[in-house]
Structure 1
């Protein structure tokens, strides 16, 4: 495996025997005497623990022991050799929570000062905080608003007939648009998605360069705004990387947004030598381990045990001002702010940042996270 191009002060190691798997982690800082200084960083898709490289040292400088794992199915952790047809049990939300619990315990911690999740990792961080507030003492959600536990279970239906539940027809409605469209998460759940990206016609490097560019503040067409409702007529306003043309895969979708040679040279937040590490890892593993998180996992039905439960620890949301991901679920951010969290401490949208906020604007991201963690 290639060496990881890490800043001095960030360490790399693999921990074995963690919930029947091995987990590669990046680490900065050290455990304090009172063992109340652990900060856990959970990456999204298609990223790695490496995506936190720019904020780990600022957090460690404040006295925190900072760890960032490659989540199961990613990078140098277990289950990267997964196939589409394999058992989805290891990728269930409850098992991923158990991964984080086992990882934290293996390091000699009984509590986590803050769990911080970005993109797909925000979902896992949200579930960690919701399900085990005794361990995860605060949570920062980044770029993707956590959608919360299932709604409260049907109540008093023995005595009063329940109103019928209206099923969403958004998939069918998107397909009827001109041109026909589809939601990217539905595409990510298909068997074709992995090879479409891994074996992209333009090559893996050009695919990832275009994908990261198109969702960043560098892409001039990213000027997000709130959508009125979950309607096809509203969703079609989203960029193609969220609501794709029905007949295209993601590699073909992002190709027109490939940045110029000059744009690549001027990209300070992701220069070629850093992108090359993502390329080396994903060329080896493919994307299926991450894509499993977008599947309709039958084992996630067990999350109904948390129906109606809210996040009761201090919480915050941080995103990029140019990030459409904040608004892809109409009303999602407002629900997080007003309903899902009982101790919400504010929303922060960072200027000149798109979806990859902790890489695009690490100084401001670090500042906000330090302020949040310190006061909690």
Structure 2
């Protein structure tokens, strides 16, 4: 492995033993620990624009491939991907890095992991930031039942429950999968002329990529998934109802560490929340310091709008 002082301006890569699995991490910088947790279908590479600015500001930036993704182990059992396993991996990673606490930042699925780490282990969390996915109350009903009633049987989270189905669709041509999903869920999305079936059906295959995404970026994601597949990440969705059961002891509990939320005006996830939901976030996270709503931005905000996201993160970090 390249020594840190030989490549201060690029992330260094290594593997760590955490909770019985091997976790691949990318890291850069020295100082207080900032963990960056990616979503689906992504990897550490989703944070490529955050390493240098945060490290230059005096932080130790670490982005793992989370359980089931990229260079990290992929347990076979579906029930090895519960929120307790995912939070446990963050807790174990902090210790494996020789640290006692961290600021935990998550995007997409990484956001619920960050919020739950702050909820379950506030002693380890100096601050918590969520991108796209807000902290939400546990709710009184099983989430998939509520999703079916609200969004119908074709809702993607329900489609993902079928073993092997979405796995095969997404793995058929990883490069096309990433061109469609990264552009199709962004602020630059253009609807297809004739929507098709499956998860990818609503997304067009763009003739040209937007300025924030390069063909090399698409290749980087596609190569990771060509080697390792999509099942590990899909298994997170297959634990949604199980997570609801496991978190029953924290019904009504609030997130106490300092918090930040960043959303995009065109993020598809916004449609999951009722009107006015964001106004009530302080009831869930009483120490919420700021909410940033990025005009014209879609789901992949740290890739689409890195300068704005980095500015928001650095402002939040400086106030801790």
Which TM-score applies when normalising by structure 2?
A: 0.89
Check the 8 A contact 2:171/2:225 in 1, yes or no.
Answer: yes
Partner of 1:274 in structure 2? 217
Match of 2:113 in 1: 124
Does residue 1:194 correspond to 2:155, yes or no?
no
**Residues 116/171 of structure 1: CA separation in 2 closer, same or farther (3 Å cut):** same
The 8 Å contact of residues 187 and 296 in structure 2, kept in 1 or not, is answered as yes
What are the Cα deviations for residues 50-79 of structure 1, in whole angstroms up to 9, with x where unaligned? 100101110111100000000000000011
2:45 paired residue among 41, 50, 58: 50
Q: What pairs up with 1:1-376 in 2 under 5 angstroms? A: 8-15=9-16, 17-30=17-30, 32=31, 37-79=32-74, 82=75, 86-112=76-102, 114-149=103-138, 171=148, 175=152, 182-191=154-163, 192-199=165-172, 203-220=173-190, 248-254=197-203, 257-260=204-207, 263-264=208-209, 267-296=210-239, 300=243, 301-331=245-275, 333-334=277-278, 337-376=281-320
Equivalent pair of 1:39/1:67 in contact (CA under 8 Å): yes
Higher-RCO chain (CA-CA 8 Å, sequence separation at least 6): 1
- What's the CA shift for 1:293? 0.9
| Residues 147 and 332 of structure 1: CA distance in aligned 2, closer, same or farther (over 3 Å) | farther
Are the structure 2 counterparts of residues 91 and 173 from structure 1 closer, same or farther at C-alpha, using a change threshold of 3 Å? closer
Runs of at least 4 residues off by over 3 Å = 148-151, 167-170, 172-175, 296-299
CA distance in 1, matches of 2:147, 2:304: 33
8 Å CA contact 1:115, 1:138 repeated in 2: yes
Uncovered stretches (5+) of structure 1, i.e. residues with no partner: 1-5, 152-163, 176-180, 222-238, 240-244
TM-score using structure 1 length: 0.76
> For the aligned residues, what is the CA RMSD?
2.6
Distance 1:343 1:96, change over 3 A: same
> Which sections of structure 2, spanning at least 5 residues, go unmatched?
1-6
SS in 1 for 2:116: helix
Distance 1:371 1:140, change over 3 A: same
What is the aligned residue count? 310
> What is the SS of the residue equivalent to 2:202?
helix
Q: Distance in 1 between matches of 2:151 and 2:272?
A: 14
Say whether the 8 Å CA contact 1:89–1:95 is kept in structure 2.
Answer: no
Q: What is aligned with 1:154?
A: none
Aligned pair in 2 of structure 1 residues 307, 283: CA closer, same or farther (>3 Å)? same
Counterpart of 1:354 in 2: which secondary structure? coil
Higher share of residues assigned helix: 2
